[in-house]
Amino acid sequence: MISTYASDSANAAASAQRMANRKIAKQGRTIRVKIKRCDGPGKASRWETFNVSVSERGMNIISVLQQIAANPTTVEGKPTTPVVWDSGCLEEVCGSCTMVINGKVRQSCSCLVDDYAPAEGDEMSLEPMSKFPIVRDLWVDRERLFHNLKRVKAWVPIDGTYSLGAGPRETSAKQETRYDLSQCMSCGCCLEACPQFNIEPDKSQWDTSFIGAHAISQARLFNEHETGKQLKAERLEVLMGPGGVNDCGNAQNCVKVCPKHIPLTESIAAVGRAVTIQSVVNFFRG
């Protein structure tokens, strides 16, 4: 598993390979797309393979699934149902269409088939994320991810929506730090890649299971805001407890798979330090 989320140099090589593939890809070819399917919670999974004709440059996994939906027939000629998947903006800002493509988690809208399957007969595989319960086929239930944002109180506690003038002034440097963190689209890539974050269908366990890099980073985002930091102690209290920042095993996969290049390991380190200071404060306060 760890090897899938390889070193930076291996990732750079893979990225260069994709760009090279994009250049040599011939339009009009047929590729094979293997999809792991499941009819619903508790049902067994199965693989189905489809032929997909790549007719235009820039075809992504979304267009592959749309083509299959219009005529769902497997390579064996067996009629089947359209594949179920989650999608939204199709431009990598909404976080909906995360799946495991060729063994690696990513957004499917920004995954171009030219990059991965440039030649006739090349095969790609699509699987649902494994760390969340399956709804159907490639669609998983990510409620826990949003629940964890509640745990860390990921908001600024404003006094209400009445007109009360501007917010706090902020330096450009601070804004840039916060903006980078604030681009987290709750896609779940960091959780899929994390060895410490495991599937947990039992909701009563959510509050004590590892919270994940995304929520730790969001806690840091709001702790960095002048008004948001009013809740800093409460956030750190949660992150100090079971399932908090100390459960991070430092595999550093999260930062490698984040499609928005959010400095997740920096956030984990920063929150880790803040938690330590907070525990010292708590100790002296008794």
Residues that bind another protein (CB under 8 A): 19, 22, 39-40, 56-60, 62-63, 66, 69-70, 72, 81-82, 84, 87-96, 109-110, 112, 135-136, 139, 142, 146, 149-150, 153-158, 160-161, 163-167, 169-172, 174-176, 178-179, 182-183, 185-186, 222, 225, 227-228
Q: In angstroms, give the least distance from the CB of 95 to another protein.
A: 6
SS3 helix, strand, coil % of the chain, rounded to 5? 40, 15, 45
Closest to 217 in 3D by CA, of 190, 253, 193: 190
Closest to 223 in 3D by CA, of 157, 171, 160: 157
Q: Which is nearer to another protein, 149 or 251 (CB)?
A: 149
Rounded distance between C-alpha atoms, residue 243 and residue 239, angstroms: 7
Q: Which is nearer to another protein, 40 or 121 (CB)?
A: 40
Residue 231 tokens, joined: 């809740």
- φ, ψ at 137 (rounded to 5°): 45, -110
Residue 75 tokens, joined: 């390579």
Q: Which is nearer to another protein, 123 or 234 (CB)?
A: 234
DSSP string, 18-78: HHHHHHHPPTTEEEEEEEEEESSTTPPEEEEEEEEEE-STT-BHHHHHHHHHHS-B-TTS-
Q: Which is nearer to another protein, 62 or 269 (CB)?
A: 62
Q: In angstroms, give the least distance from the CB of 115 to another protein.
A: 9
Q: Which is nearer to another protein, 51 or 230 (CB)?
A: 230
CB atoms closer than 10 angstroms to residue 268: 21
Do 124 and 113 contact (CB within 8 A), yes or no?
yes
Q: What is the CA radius of gyration of the chain?
A: 21
Q: Which is nearer to another protein, 10 or 69 (CB)?
A: 69
Q: In angstroms, give the least distance from the CB of 100 to another protein.
A: 19
Residue 262 tokens, joined: 């959010």
Instruction: Look up tokens 């990225």; give the residue.
Output: 15
Q: Which is nearer to another protein, 40 or 242 (CB)?
A: 40
Q: In angstroms, give the least distance from the CB of 268 to another protein.
A: 21
Report which residue type is found at 60. N
